[in-house]
Amino acid sequence: METSTEKIIRLMLIYPKKRWKQKELAIKAGCSKAFLSKFTKKLLARGIITKLDNQIILLSPTKTLNYWHGIRELPKPIYIKSIISKERILKILEKSDNYCLTLFSAAWLRIKYMKTASVEAYVLKNKINPLIKKIGRRSINPTNIVLFPSDESVFEALEVVDKLRVVNFIQNYVDLMAYGGSGSRVAMKLSEKYKLLE
């Protein structure tokens, strides 16, 4: 389950110029005002945000991004064994609003770097079982079809690339960094395109 901390950070990074009222940000992130107040004190101390006229303003997107990928843990994956081709699985996904590609699948659509045979997607928790039935069955061993149960917060500012829903590029970057290994290399290529670390 994703933390309120990550939901707050995601919103601030996706909308870096927005001046957030505390109540508005708490509602959008699905957390209490007390939690948000405590967390913003931590961000103030790190020089990540400032407060002006009772509004929260992001000062350093780069510091915030580094902070987020430092704490990010991908949700527990569900591996799917399937006899269906990747192309067919993507066609099935195209007809749905309950998913967002992430990791290498999303990055490939964006930057055409490090082609992958895998499909990695967030799927709404309450819609994951019907999707699994359409494409295959659960596997206890890693496979090249990986689904991450999620809530709608991960879909914030999603994009559509080649008819497929992909997480926003900031989420894509953070997920790749959290994945580690070759994920970090792809994340850096993504960062260059979107000028994330400037």
CATH of the domain at 16: 1.10.10.10
Together in a domain, 178 and 153:
yes
Q: Which residue type occupies 120?
A: E
pLDDT of residue 101 exceeding 70, the answer is yes
Whole-model pTM above 0.75? yes
Together in a domain, 172 and 85:
yes
What pLDDT was estimated at residue 5? 94
Q: Which residue type occupies 157?
A: A
Last residue of a domain, one of 23, 38, 71: 71
Tokens of residue 17, six digits = 């110029």
Last residue of a domain, one of 45, 71, 97: 71
Together in a domain, 132 and 147:
yes
Structural domain harbouring 82: 78-194
Vertex 21, ends 69 and 33: CA angle to 5°? 75
Last residue of a domain, one of 28, 52, 71: 71
What pLDDT was estimated at residue 183? 96
Together in a domain, 101 and 179:
yes
Together in a domain, 89 and 115:
yes
Together in a domain, 98 and 182:
yes
pLDDT confidence tier of residue 36, bands split at 50, 70 and 90: very high
At 154, which CATH number? 3.30.460
Give the number of domains in the chain.
2
* Mean pLDDT on 115-138: 96
pLDDT of residue 28 exceeding 70, the answer is yes
What pLDDT was estimated at residue 166? 98
pLDDT confidence tier of residue 176, bands split at 50, 70 and 90: very high
Rounded to whole angstroms, the Cα distance separating 1 from 21 reads 25
Together in a domain, 50 and 88:
no
Cα distances from 136 to residues 77, 123, 131, 192, in angstroms, run 15, 15, 9, 36
* Mean pLDDT on 101-124: 96
What pLDDT was estimated at residue 119? 97
* Mean pLDDT on 163-176: 97
What residues are paired with 146 via a beta bridge? Answer: 79, 120
Rounded to whole angstroms, the Cα distance separating 21 from 164 reads 33
Q: Which H helix or E strand runs over 145?
A: strand 145-150
pLDDT of residue 150 exceeding 70, the answer is yes
Together in a domain, 43 and 91:
no
Q: Which H helix or E strand runs over 127?
A: none
* Mean pLDDT on 52-56: 91
Strand duo 145-150 + 119-124: pairing? parallel
* Mean pLDDT on 60-86: 94
Q: Which residues contact 14 (CB under 8 A, 6 or more apart)?
A: 156, 157, 168, 170
Together in a domain, 52 and 127:
no
CA 25 to chain centre: 18
Strand duo 145-150 + 55-58: pairing? unpaired
What pLDDT was estimated at residue 1? 59
Together in a domain, 148 and 173:
yes
Q: What values do phi and psi take at 183, rounded to 5? A: -60, -40
pLDDT confidence tier of residue 54, bands split at 50, 70 and 90: confident
